[in-house]
Structure 1
Amino acid sequence: MKIAIVTGASSGIGKEFVKQLSTSKHLDEIWMIARREERLNALAKKIPTKLKAIELDLLSVECMEQLKERLEKEKPQIKVLVNSSGFGKFGKFNDLTKEEINNMIDLNCKALIHMTYLCLNYMKKESKIIMMGSASSFFPLPEFNLYASTKAFVVHFSRALHVELKKRGITVTTVCPGYVRTEFFKVAKDTKNPNTCKNFKPMYESKDIVKKALKDSQRGKDMSVYGIQIKILRLLSKMLPHQLIMWIWLRIK
């Protein structure tokens, strides 16, 4: 059985990955992983493809163990793994709670690593891994510091893994979007200082980010960046001193 696994599948970019992967003729099932089972079930009813809703909290060691047991039992061939789960918070580092700090690091980094490690045992030549990075990973971002730092970790880990897996014929594509119209902002701005960031332009659509990500993954690219503004931002991050970029960021955020 050939499957795709998508984490964070109940909303936003993860949900869009499920929609676009559902048109593939090379997949027997799509395993949708998220905490909100009712949303997964609602999505499964809308898409006439064999979808499997799996309610898992990736922050839970027990849930990861449940997934391991399911994989050992069914022994699928994982053709595509999309690590889309994650969340962020705007605001100064001291504005964050201890729980927010731990959860952001654990979900954005640790869960992604353990999910990848687990799934690699079921991947063969031409399998694809897609990691959700962020344009915020291009440079340090005061008042969006921890989220940007976790995404910088994701980018470095994923690009190195892409090289490590070349001999196995498995590719790793890191997706680094700018602002995307999703529920992310509702969570990100729910802090002690909700006015920290207000300038969310340009705003991109999930369908466009995912369409390019899947295309770049098929081409074996190690990074997917959508939008001329974000491509310019990435270029500037290599050319300008980061002190200057941070100074500009604090005045336009």
Structure 2
Amino acid sequence: MNIAVITGASSGIGKEICFAIQDRIPAVEEFWLFSRRKDELQKIANQLFCPTRIFSYDLTEKEGIEEYRSALTKDKPSILFLVNAAGFGKLGETEKLSESEQLKMIDLNCKALTAFTVYSLPFMRRKSRIIQIASAAAFLPQREFSVYAATKSYVYSFSLSLREELREREIGVTAVCPGPVDTEFFKVAGNEGKLRFAKSFFMAKPKKVAMQALMDSVLKRPVSVYGFSMKLFYAMSRVIPDFILIKFLRKFYT
């Protein structure tokens, strides 16, 4: 049984990647979808042509991760695609954000992603693909996104390192690094008035980001960056010292 495993599948990029895989990867025979919101997962399952298993869990808790591990051990599927799209961010000064919120970011964005990746690897084969949803925030430390940007830097680095480890097995790993995307992210992040310019100028549609991510994954690209502006930012981050770019970004937080 060839499956696609998608976390954060109830909305945003995770949701759109479900449909992108369905439309373009006919070898996938079943979807395993993870999110806290069971009702939203069911709506997506009703729109998918393949059989779909719903796992409604908060992945910052161990229960959902262990349930995934147990399902893999029991069913022994062949994972064609693993998409780690679950994640969230909180905007604000580190001292003012609650400790619990910041630790939950680490739990979901880093620990859950790592656990799903590690548990999936024994069930992946040649030409399987891993898509890790990082962020353009991975390229540069960002004021008032300190923990979030750090978690995405982890995802970016982990993905590129893992890609090299899996090269001989011909398992591809792609880090997806979009800028602002028109999802629920900023509603959850809070302080929606901040980053107003960045949101209005750089905002991308999740469907387009998802389609680009899938294409880049199939083409074995290590990094997927959607849109000219974000590709330019990525290139700048490679050659311009961090302290200069950090000063430049300050104006977006006012």
Q: TM-score, normalised by structure 2?
A: 0.95
Per-residue CA shift, 1:34-80, capped at 9, x if unaligned?
11111101111123332221112211112211111111111100000
Measure the CA separation in 1 of the matches of 2:167 and 2:241. Answer: 33
Contact 1:8 1:15 in 2 (8 A): yes
Shift of 1:194: 5.4
* Equivalence map 1:93-242=2 (5 Å): 93-189=94-190, 195-199=193-197, 200=199, 201-242=201-242
- Are residues 1:244 and 2:247 paired? no
User: Aligned-pair RMSD on alpha carbons?
Assistant: 1.2
Taking structure 1 as the reference length, the TM-score comes to 0.96
Instruction: Indicate conservation of the 8 Å contact 1:91/1:194, yes or no.
Output: no
Paired with 2:180 and 2:194, the residues of 1 have a C-alpha distance of: 15
SS at 2:19 equivalent: helix
Shift of the alpha carbon at 1:227? 0.5
Q: CA deviation at 1:239?
A: 1.9
- Output the CA distance in 2 between the equivalents of 1:238 and 1:80: 29
Between stretches 197-206 and 134-143, larger displacement belongs to: 197-206
What runs of 5+ residues in structure 2 fail to find an aligned partner? none
The CA deviation string for residues 109-130 of structure 1, in whole angstroms up to 9 with x for no partner, is 0110011000001001110000
Worse overlay, 156-165 or 16-25: 16-25
Aligned residues: 250
Partner Cα separation in structure 2 for residue 118 and residue 175 of structure 1: 21
Structure 2 Cα separation of the partners of residues 54 and 252 of structure 1: 38
Q: 2: distance between equivalents of 1:120 and 1:47?
A: 25
Percent identical pairs in the alignment equals: 40
> Separation in 1 of the partners of 2:95 and 2:19?
38
| SS of alignment partner, residue 95 of structure 2 | helix
